[in-house]
């Protein structure tokens, strides 16, 4: 079967050399020159073949499904036809003109068989940081960010790893926030609008719009999905105070887990009630402060102290929960974990809003102007932008 495609997607994969192929009753076993093995179920492999009758040559999506695959489909033969491809001969046709032969790139078999869609050798594991390590996290030059793809990719990678990056020295203009973040993905709107301005207001609907100190928190803890990313771009900052603060809540959680597993478990179990306070919206959610993915890995810290609702339950249990959240909050605001720095006009903080807690020191409303612009985005916009940047 013919195809102009090499793989059923838009990605490029590092080449792999195959040492051996073994055909099993249910599928194919591939052994590579680094001794790794991949296994491919016949019916699934046939669906993902790039044949022009079974994969759309423009969208690259499959045109067939499990419903089109005979129950007894098997592999009659498999051979390496050159260093980069494997030819598979099938027992049954699945379309009228099916030649029963499909070609697979060894690089695609290796990558998707072992790791899924992203190049596994890239260093993207979370690396937690405490305050003393914050300065090791790279910041990005604003001029580079706008015109340099390597710099853009480095920025995405830094957010994935460390949860935060600061872009310094962007041009100072109101439209800059949207211009910069749109390079990554689609902005998520909220009850504060698509873009919100953090300024002192005489009639505030959030503590953010006062000059009060804000201890570290994430935004929109009351929502079903806490926005995965937050961007804060400084346009003016002439106040006496109003320093930005950041804490890696994953580092705090790691510390608590090591020091007191009982408290860690309590913060991972107790469904804390969060509710926003507004005349025009009433978002509520009951979820733990520490949330984990389906592999048991910490994936989200949900915490906005002033949006908590009263605790419920038996008195001694509530006392334990109260003490546990106090312990966490105290640590998150200690100098061991929290950094404090001034955002200058043109600087932008890009944060994983489910991991990095942010805040600010207090300032007097009449001590000078302070104007930050902000917006939200989902985490998967970040990952999508990163994967696309990897294709070149
Ligand atoms: Fe905030």
Ligand 1 mean position to 220 CA, how many Å? 8
Ligand 1 mean position to 371 CA, how many Å? 14
All residue ranges of the chain with pLDDT < 70 are: 1-2, 117-121, 202, 365-367, 392
Ligand 1 mean position to 288 CA, how many Å? 19
CB 218 within 8 A of CB 268: no
- Look at residue 2 and tell me if it is in a domain: no
Last residue of a domain, one of 65, 86, 114: 114
Cα separations (Å) of 15 from 101, 105, 106, 109, 119? 22, 9, 7, 10, 11
Ligand 1 mean position to 295 CA, how many Å? 29
pLDDT digits (tens, 9 = 90+) for 182-241: 999 999 999 999 999 988 776 777 777 788 899 999 999 999 999 999 999 999 988 888
**pLDDT value at residue 2:** 63
**pLDDT value at residue 120:** 61
Ligand 1 mean position to 208 CA, how many Å? 6
Ligand 1 mean position to 215 CA, how many Å? 9
Do 96 and 227 lie in a common domain? no
Ligand 1 mean position to 327 CA, how many Å? 21
Ligand 1 mean position to 267 CA, how many Å? 21
**pLDDT value at residue 242:** 87
Q: What is the CATH number of the domain that holds 153?
A: 3.60.130.10
Ligand 1 mean position to 218 CA, how many Å? 6
**pLDDT value at residue 212:** 84
Last residue of a domain, one of 64, 86, 114: 114
Number of domains comprising the chain: 2
Domain span holding position 188: 131-389
Do 98 and 138 lie in a common domain? no
Ligand 1 mean position to 114 CA, how many Å? 39
pLDDT digits (tens, 9 = 90+) for 52-73: 899 999 999 999 999 999 999 9
Ligand 1 mean position to 232 CA, how many Å? 9
- Look at residue 32 and tell me if it is in a domain: yes
Ligand 1 mean position to 154 CA, how many Å? 25
**pLDDT value at residue 220:** 95
Total-model pTM: 0.89
Do 360 and 244 lie in a common domain? yes
- Look at residue 8 and tell me if it is in a domain: no
- Look at residue 69 and tell me if it is in a domain: yes
Ligand 1 mean position to 317 CA, how many Å? 30
Do 88 and 192 lie in a common domain? no
- Look at residue 206 and tell me if it is in a domain: yes
- Look at residue 13 and tell me if it is in a domain: no
- Look at residue 4 and tell me if it is in a domain: no
Ligand 1 mean position to 357 CA, how many Å? 8
**pLDDT value at residue 134:** 94
**pLDDT value at residue 1:** 56
Ligand 1 mean position to 375 CA, how many Å? 11
- Which residue, chain included where needed, has tokens 């400084």? 234
Structure tokens, 315:
């008195």
Nearest to 254 by CA among 315, 351, 332, 322: 332
Do 246 and 337 lie in a common domain? yes
Ligand 1 mean position to 99 CA, how many Å? 60
CB 365 within 8 A of CB 200: yes
Do 244 and 362 lie in a common domain? yes
Do 139 and 270 lie in a common domain? yes
Ligand 1 mean position to 206 CA, how many Å? 9
Last residue of a domain, one of 84, 114, 144: 114
Do 155 and 256 lie in a common domain? yes
- Look at residue 248 and tell me if it is in a domain: yes
Distance CA 3, CA 5 (A): 5
Ligand 1 mean position to 304 CA, how many Å? 9
Do 147 and 242 lie in a common domain? yes
Ligand 1 mean position to 153 CA, how many Å? 26
Do 330 and 240 lie in a common domain? yes
Q: What is the CATH number of the domain that holds 80?
A: 3.30.2020.30
Ligand 1 mean position to 193 CA, how many Å? 14
Do 101 and 156 lie in a common domain? no
Do 110 and 248 lie in a common domain? no
**pLDDT value at residue 230:** 98
Residues with CB under 5 A from ligand 1 (ion): 219
């Amino acid at each position: 079967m013919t195809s102009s495609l090499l793989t059923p997607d838009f990605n490029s994969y590092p080449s792999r050399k195959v040492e051996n192929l073994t055909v099993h009753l249910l599928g194919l076993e591939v052994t590579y020159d680094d001794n790794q093995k991949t296994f491919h179920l016949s019916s699934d492999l046939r669906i993902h073949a790039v044949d022009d009758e079974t994969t759309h040559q423009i969208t690259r999506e499959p045109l067939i499904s499990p419903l089109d695959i005979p129950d007894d489909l098997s592999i009659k033969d498999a051979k390496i036809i050159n260093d980069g491809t494997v030819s598979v001969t099938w027992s049954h046709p699945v379309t009228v003109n099916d030649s029963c032969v499909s070609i697979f790139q060894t690089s695609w078999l290796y990558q998707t068989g072992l790791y899924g869609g992203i190049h596994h050798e890239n260093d993207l594991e979370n690396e937690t940081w405490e305050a003393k390590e914050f300065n090791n996290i790279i910041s990005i030059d604003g001029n580079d960010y706008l015109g340099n793809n390597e710099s853009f990719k480095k920025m995405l990678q830094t957010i994935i790893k460390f949860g935060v990056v600061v872009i310094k020295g962007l041009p100072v203009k109101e439209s800059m926030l949207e211009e910069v973040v749109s390079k990554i993905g689609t902005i998520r709107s909220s009850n504060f609008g698509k873009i919100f301005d953090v300024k002192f207001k005489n009639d505030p609907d959030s503590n953010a719009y006062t000059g009060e100190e804000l201890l570290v928190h994430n935004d929109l803890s009351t929502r079903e999905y806490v926005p995965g990313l937050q961007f804060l771009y400084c346009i003016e900052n002439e106040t006496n105070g109003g320093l930005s603060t950041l804490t890696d809540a994953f580092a705090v959680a790691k510390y608590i887990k090591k020091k007191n597993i009982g408290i860690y478990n309590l913060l991972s179990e107790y469904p804390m009630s969060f509710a926003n306070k507004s005349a025009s919206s009433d978002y509520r959610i009951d979820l733990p402060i520490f949330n984990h993915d389906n592999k048991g890995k910490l994936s989200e810290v949900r915490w906005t102290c002033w949006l908590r609702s009263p605790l419920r339950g038996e008195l001694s249990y509530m006392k334990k929960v109260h003490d546990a959240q106090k312990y966490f909050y105290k640590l998150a605001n200690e100098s061991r974990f929290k950094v404090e720095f001034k955002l200058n006009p043109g600087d932008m903080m890009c944060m994983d809003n489910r991991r990095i807690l942010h805040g600010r020191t207090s300032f007097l409303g009449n001590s000078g102007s302070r104007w930050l612009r902000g917006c939200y985005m989902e985490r998967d916009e970040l990952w999508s932008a990163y994967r696309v940047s990897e294709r070149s």
